[in-house]
Structure 1
Amino acid sequence: MLRILLGLPPRAELAEMQGAVEAMQHVLSQLQKRISEGHDPEHIWRKHEIWTKGLIESLDELEQSVFLAGHFADRVRNSYQDEMSQQENTDYHRHVYFYKDGFIRVFSILDKLGTLMNDLFELHTERAKAHFSFFTVLRQFQYLGVHLALMDKLNTLKEQYNEPLRHLRKWRNIEIHYMNMEMQDDLNQRDQTLDGKIKLEDIQQRQNDLELGYRMACDTLQAAFEYIEIMLRNKYQR
């Protein structure tokens, strides 16, 4: 959608999303089969169906933000904002907008997945922490000693992407709890320079962190939903 608004061709393929989307669609099929057979009087499967559809849409929105953040990052050539043309300055701020939207969406998707797993696996994480995150749910797996194979896969991915996630979390926390991340970066630069000339952050490095965060979200969703599909098949096979 966003590509079309900017006059760019639509996404040709799912790329990194492919495995995650297919895994979620397979689970949707399982849930819809249960619903159609009338085995959902309390609408529990319907709830999980809606949440799964929401995750597919959220992943699509994240991909668009990551793509456009990179698109505008590639158009920024100068290292100092004072030296930018008006168009380059506009492209820089567009990059920042989609970069921030992207890293917020990375953690939003993970937390939505955590909410679904907590409900589906009846982990009751809310008893330990009312407002829990995806990472709290991972610890709940270990605490309860359940679904340890899935826990191991998700923890492995968390460690694999630890560094970019740490960077994204830092800027997410600044953006949400303190001030705009670009203003914080300006403040850091002014503390380190005497001439008042502010050098931009390493845009390409931050874009790389965002792309890795997106891949982590894709890999995590794929691992979780492949496990969920197998669990549903084994539980309800006839």
Structure 2
Amino acid sequence: MLRSMFSQKKRIDEGLLLETMQAIEAYRAFIRKQKDQGRTSRPYSLDRLELHIHGFERALDELEQSKYACEQSGAAIGGKRNLEEMNASEWDHYRRHVYFYKNAFIRVFSILDKLGHIMNQVLDLKTERVKSRFSYFTVLRQMHDKKTLPELETRLYQLKNNHQEALSKLRSQRNMEIHSLNAEMADDVKNAGSSDDDGLTPVENIKANMNDLSSCYEMVCRTLLLTFTFLKSKRIC
């Protein structure tokens, strides 16, 4: 959808994205099979679970599109490092870069937290007894503490650690964006306090933004791929 903004053809899924989408759909098909066989003794609806799993396909698609639009918009700025150096067109591209960057990092943690709630449900972790409003990372700690599926927990924890630096940066920015009364004002204050000696206003470090976002995007894909492949292989739903 967003590729049309840059006169590009519709995306063809491939590589890690394709593998992840296939893993989500395979787990969804497994749930449907359980429903068809009448295995409904769980304390939750398999219809609702299937709907939630299907939602991961849409969410991952939207994350990838936001990442793409963020990258393309940033590339159109031509390496300008200060607002005053930009013409009107570059300024528009820069604003789009920032918009899609924020949109993407919010989706990173939205997907992870939704996955955490699914894992808490199907693995009966009862994380809500530890923390009423819990995140994916809380669920991961709960898996470790309860020694639930250690072969899965260990690999998920390693994935988190492999991308910890980028996750920490985006998590901090997400918290500012979500919880600050005026995140844009905070950005203005930050920029005002970091002007160059010549009085020019520095812009976002686009290369660093994309490195962090790409790292977290990969972490999300690999986490979903690993989790849904494992749950299906163990026939857990």
- Structure 1 residue 6, shift from structure 2 partner: 4.8
Per the alignment, residue 163 of structure 1 pairs with 165
Deviation at 1:41, TM superposition (A): 6.6
Match of residue 16 from structure 1: 16
Question: Would the aligned equivalents of 1:142 and 1:148 in 2 still touch at CA under 8 Å?
Answer: yes
Please name the residue that 1:208 is paired with.
211
Shift of 1:75: 0.5
Cα pair 1:65 1:99 within 8 Å, conserved: yes
- Tell me the residue number matched to 2:233: 230
Give SS of 2:234's match: helix
Q: Which of 126, 132, 135 is the aligned partner of 1:133?
A: 135
Give yes or no for contact 1:118–1:125 (8 Å, CA) kept in 2: yes
Contact residue 140 and residue 157 of structure 2 kept, 8 A: yes
Distance 2:206 2:183 in 1: 13
Report percent identity of matched pairs. 36
Counterpart check, 1:86 vs 2:85: no
Partner residue in 1 for 2:26? 26
- Structure 1 unaligned residues grouped into runs of 5+: none
The answer to whether the 8 A contact 2:194-2:202 is kept is no
Indicate the SS of the match to 2:39.
coil
Distance 1:128 1:166 in 2: 22
User: Partner of 1:148 in structure 2?
Assistant: 150
Unpaired runs of at least 5, structure 2: none
Corresponding residue SS for 1:132: coil
TM-score, normalised to structure 2's length?
0.92
The amino acid across from 1:201 in the alignment is E
1:73 equivalent in alignment to 2:71: no
Contact residue 67 and residue 104 of structure 2 kept, 8 A = yes
Partner of 2:125: 123
* Aligned residue number for residue 114 of structure 1: 116
Q: Kindly state the Cα deviation for residue 200 of structure 1 after the two structures are TM-superposed.
A: 1.3
> What one-letter code is carried by the residue in structure 1 that aligns with 2:62?
E
Q: Is the contact between residue 16 and residue 221 of structure 2 (CA under 8 Å) also seen in structure 1?
A: yes
Which position in structure 2 is the counterpart of 1:7?
7
1:31–1:49 CA contact under 8 A, matched in 2: yes
Asked if the contact 2:20–2:224 (Cα under 8 Å) also holds between the matched residues in 1, the reply is yes
Partner residue in 2 for 1:197: 200
State the TM-score, normalizing by the size of structure 1: 0.91
Root-mean-square deviation (CA, aligned residues, Å) is 1.9
Question: What amino acid is the match of 2:199?
Answer: G
Higher mean displacement: 66-75 or 198-207: 198-207
Distance in 2 (alpha carbons) for counterparts of 1:135 and 1:46: 26
Give 1:64's aligned residue: 65
Deviation at 1:15, TM superposition (A): 3.2
Alignment deviations for residues 123-161 of structure 1 (CA, whole Å, 9 cap, x no partner): 110111111000000011111111111110100000000
